[in-house]
Amino acid sequence: MSNANEKIGFVGLGMMGLPMVRNLLDDGYAVAVFDLDTTPIETAIQFGASAATSAADTAAQANIVITMVPDSEHVEGVIAGPDGILEGLEPGSVVIDMSTIDPEIGKKMSNFIEEKGSKFIDAPVTGGVAGAEAGTLSILVGGNAEVFERTLPVLNVLGGDVTHMGPVGSGHTTKIANQLIGVATLAGISEAFVLAKKSGLDMQTFFEAVKNGAGRSWALDTHGPTILAGDFAPGFMVKHMQKDLRLAGQLGAETGTALPTTTLIAQLYRSVQADGEDATSQGHQALVQAIEKLSNEQARL
């Protein structure tokens, strides 16, 4: 089968999924979409997608089915639950899970899909909504090398950096480890900003002085200005980072890995969560709010 003949099914049209669908459509792929929320389906139709009536119907219309949903239970539901992908999946198809979930659930779904005569790869992403919109996501892939090669043209539409990490589960594991790097960096930024503000430094001057130094990072470039502006609009929500830290804790327990920094940061996010349900829908840069509470100071311009 040539790549030109691939038809895409996409399940999960959240903040990440909807712009990813648009990029696939703009590249000329036929895309059938499904989500429990009808509003983004209507938007996707305006972009040129066709609407499916269920995850099973999405799979029946596609050779490659992509899932982009919040957590492990959601992936399990849309693949193996009632009206799930398994019910509509044609032999020879590929399911790509681009969610961030427990690697063991990915392996379990892969076994179910193999029994249907199809293939599975895990391909979680990093880069946030901005990366999804621009098609510049970093994509971390686990699965058979031949299946990876088949799906690479599709993945290259969605990401600027696509890496095959190894067998099924390797992508999910890589994403979990990646999150620890990002969130630890964000914790350091939060502490530095609050310390600078409480010590009387001019915050814009401080940011300009450090942004190109040894502490330079994507997190500082991206979240530094938003923290200083008090802008906590989500590119990646607090509740999703909390979920990823939970997955990291589980993986640490399974592998006997000490994660003391991760454990502390997870508790700091609990402090943010204590402000109410809406607090967890903020961008994950709201981690700074926990340090601000402890210090009785806001790191703002």
Catalytic annotation, residues: 175
Give yes or no for a contact between 10 and 22, defined as CB atoms under 8 angstroms apart. no
Give the DSSP H or E segment for 95. strand 94-97
Residue located via tokens 């601000």: 292
Euclidean distance between CA atoms 125 and 69, whole angstroms: 12
Residue located via tokens 């959601």: 74
DSSP code per residue over 47-70: HT-EE-SSHHHHHHT-SEEEE--S
List, in sequence order, every residue forming a beta bridge with 66; answer none if it has no partner.
10, 96
- What is the crossing angle of helices 145-158 and 17-26, to 10°? 90
Q: Which one-letter amino acid corresponds to residue 154?
A: V
List, in sequence order, every residue forming a beta bridge with 7; answer none if it has no partner.
30
Euclidean distance between CA atoms 51 and 31, whole angstroms: 9
Phi, psi (degrees; rounded to nearest 5) at 168: -50, 135
Give yes or no for a contact between 192 and 295, defined as CB atoms under 8 angstroms apart. no
Euclidean distance between CA atoms 17 and 23, whole angstroms: 10
Euclidean distance between CA atoms 189 and 184, whole angstroms: 9
- Helices and strands per DSSP (H, E), number in the chain: 14, 9
Please state whether beta strands 125-126 and 7-11 pair in parallel, antiparallel, or not at all (unpaired).
unpaired
